Amino acid sequence: MPKIETSYQELLKLLREAAVLNSCASLLGWDEQTYLPQAGSAHRAEQLALLAGLTHDRSTSPRIGELLTELEQSGSLGDAESVLAVNVREARHSYDRNTKLPRTLVEELSRTTTLAQSAWVSARKKSSFAEFQPWLEKMVALKREQAEALGYSGGVPYDALLDEFEPGASSQEIAAAFAPLREELVPLVAAIKQSSLRPKVELLTQRFRTEDQKHFAESAARAIGFDFEAGRLDIAAHPFCSSMGPGDCRLTTRYNEHHFPGAFFGVMHEAGHGLYEQGVDPAAFGSPMGDAVSLGIHESQSRLWENFVGRSRAFWQHFFGAAQQAFPEALTEVSLDDWYAAINDVRPSFIRVEADEVTYNLHIMLRFDLEQPLISGDLQPADVPGVWNETFSRYFGLTPPDDAHGCLQDIHWSAGLFGYFPTYALGNMYAAQFFEAAQRDLGDLSALFARGEFRPLLDWLRKNIHSRGKQLRAGQLVQRVTGQPLSHRALLAHLHNKCDPLYGLS
């Protein structure tokens, strides 16, 4: 075997070992959220901390650095999109991120995050920003330190944090896509608020037995292609999708007998993440070619199945009969039109995680508006509640009654996740662009959905997105697959197509 091939195989082996260790932590994390007896949580924390340390040591091993340098200097990487070149490029990217941070900062961040999160839980309960403020100050200071250690181009420290979730994206590019989206969403939300057409949302809060919800949601996830031989669905307080590696992808949801959409669209959403995980090349596990592009692209897959498929009329043309059979008391007398309108109800509300497809993006932009100046130092943590409420009323025409319904609602900042929020709205925009491109390639997707045929769409996503691993960065992928750069247009067209007839807008 030529020397360079030996080095490459050694690199892949080291990356894979780190990924295997990490997947053990994922499994323990999943168990913690689903079945762990409460008395076991202290020991679980010890298990997870040890694994995190081992994974960190493995993934920052100087040997990886040596191998990467050797491969980079060999002149044999070839085409930038070849498997070898992609694996080396992306392994370098994470290796540099992992090794640039001093150990003291990593430990300080981890300790402060744990404390800040419990302070946040208590502050949110009392709706007391004052109680959380010192923790937000500490967190912001540490994240600024982290951004400096990581380095950034273009003079925007926030971009160094964004890079963890959306590699290669810049806040400038995101802001350029958000601005026109916001300009059109604000009047759309206002027009819907004014409309006299109101969906019968009370249909959604009738009694839907938990056991029946579970079967129905599972049958829908199976119909869109989620492989239950290689995955499962369990109950957890916070819905998520976690992949343990090839052949083992786990979804969670939570059920409320008097609220149908929560669990059902939650499962569609997490199954969308799961379809992505089940679609990457199992043989490439542990290497960048076997990994998702970014959080934004991951979210595009969940949103696509949840909203563009699961909330479409065609989907329910196929599934409504089965829903009526599953929930005869609630749905026998209900028409498909009323059901379709109810699951697409749009109304401004204070809480992001309960927001509909239209207003959701405004919740994200508000957070993006605040995060950047917080990290650059142009906004002081003490001023967050005021700026939050002022921006909220500009976007939604409502003022939050208290900080629990305002700037204290999300866990992200206490968890140090600055730069994470934009990936949700990027996911919505990417989803719309991908869906439009799939429609162009496959013809009328509605006609397929109405017949219960979801395979052509899944195959298209597998071929164009899932199987590529990290071959392209998010921006390049969208350009390659859709022929367009990141843009708000497809998402707005989709929202108008849906909402204009539902709310009698012209």
Minimum distance from residue 299 beta carbon to Zn ion (Å): 5
d(CA 376, CA 369): 12
Give 422-438 as a 3 state SS string: HHHHHHHHHHHHHHHHH
Cβ closest to Zn ion, residue 353 vs residue 447? 353
d(CA 480, CA 261): 34
d(CA 330, CA 438): 35
Q: Which residue is nearest to Zn ion (CB)?
A: 302
Distances (CA, A) of 400 to 123, 375, 393: 16, 24, 8
d(CA 436, CA 37): 46
Contacts of Zn ion in 137-176 (CB under 5 A): none
Minimum distance from residue 158 beta carbon to Zn ion (Å): 22
- Angle at which helix 474-482 crosses helix 295-303, to 10 degrees, equals 40
Cβ closest to Zn ion, residue 269 vs residue 405? 269
CA 330, 333, 338, 339 torsion-angle sign: positive
d(CA 403, CA 441): 47
Cβ closest to Zn ion, residue 171 vs residue 302? 302
Instruction: Judge whether 105 and 146 are in contact, CB under 8 Å.
Output: yes
Distances (CA, A) of 346 to 89, 200, 208, 320, 403: 43, 12, 22, 21, 23
Count of C-beta atoms within a 10 Å radius of residue 459:
15
Cβ closest to Zn ion, residue 159 vs residue 299? 299
Minimum distance from residue 483 beta carbon to Zn ion (Å): 26
Given the residues 90, 270, 306, 357, select the one marked as catalytic: 270
| In 302-421, beta strands by DSSP E | none
Cβ closest to Zn ion, residue 80 vs residue 353? 353
- How do 231-235 and 248-253 pair as beta strands? parallel
User: Per-residue string for binding with Zn ion, 244-283, x by CB under 5 A?
Assistant: ----------------------------------------
Minimum distance from residue 295 beta carbon to Zn ion (Å): 8
The DSSP annotation for 429-497 comes to: HHHHHHHHHHHHHH--HHHHHHTT--HHHHHHHHHHTGGGTTSS-HHHHHHHHHSS-S-SHHHHHHHHH
Minimum distance from residue 102 beta carbon to Zn ion (Å): 32
Cβ closest to Zn ion, residue 303 vs residue 462? 303
Structure tokens at 24: 């053990």
Minimum distance from residue 400 beta carbon to Zn ion (Å): 24
Minimum distance from residue 345 beta carbon to Zn ion (Å): 21
Secondary structure letter of residue 282 according to DSSP: G
Q: Is 59 in the site for Zn ion (CB under 5 A)?
A: no
Minimum distance from residue 238 beta carbon to Zn ion (Å): 11
Structure tokens at 389: 């409420």
Minimum distance from residue 72 beta carbon to Zn ion (Å): 34
Distances (CA, A) of 134 to 128, 141, 380: 12, 11, 11
User: Per-residue string for binding with Zn ion, 335-374, x by CB under 5 A?
Assistant: ----------------------------------------
Q: Find, among 188, 332, 342, the residue nearest to 265 by Cα.
A: 342
The three-class DSSP label of residue 99 is helix
Cβ closest to Zn ion, residue 261 vs residue 400? 261
Residues 6+ apart with CB under 8 A from 478: 430, 433, 434, 484, 485, 486
Active site residue 32: no
Cβ closest to Zn ion, residue 355 vs residue 404? 355
* Residue in the structure block whose two tokens are 């897959």: 301
d(CA 226, CA 220): 9
Cβ closest to Zn ion, residue 340 vs residue 434? 434
CA terminus-to-terminus distance, the chain: 67
Cβ closest to Zn ion, residue 314 vs residue 431? 431
Tell me the residue length of the chain: 506
Minimum distance from residue 234 beta carbon to Zn ion (Å): 17
Torsions phi, psi of 332, nearest 5? Answer: -55, -40
Contacts of Zn ion in 295-314 (CB under 5 A): 302
Q: How many residues bind Zn ion (CB under 5 A)?
A: 1
Q: Which residues are catalytic?
A: 270
> Would you tell me which residues interact with Zn ion (CB under 5 A)?
302
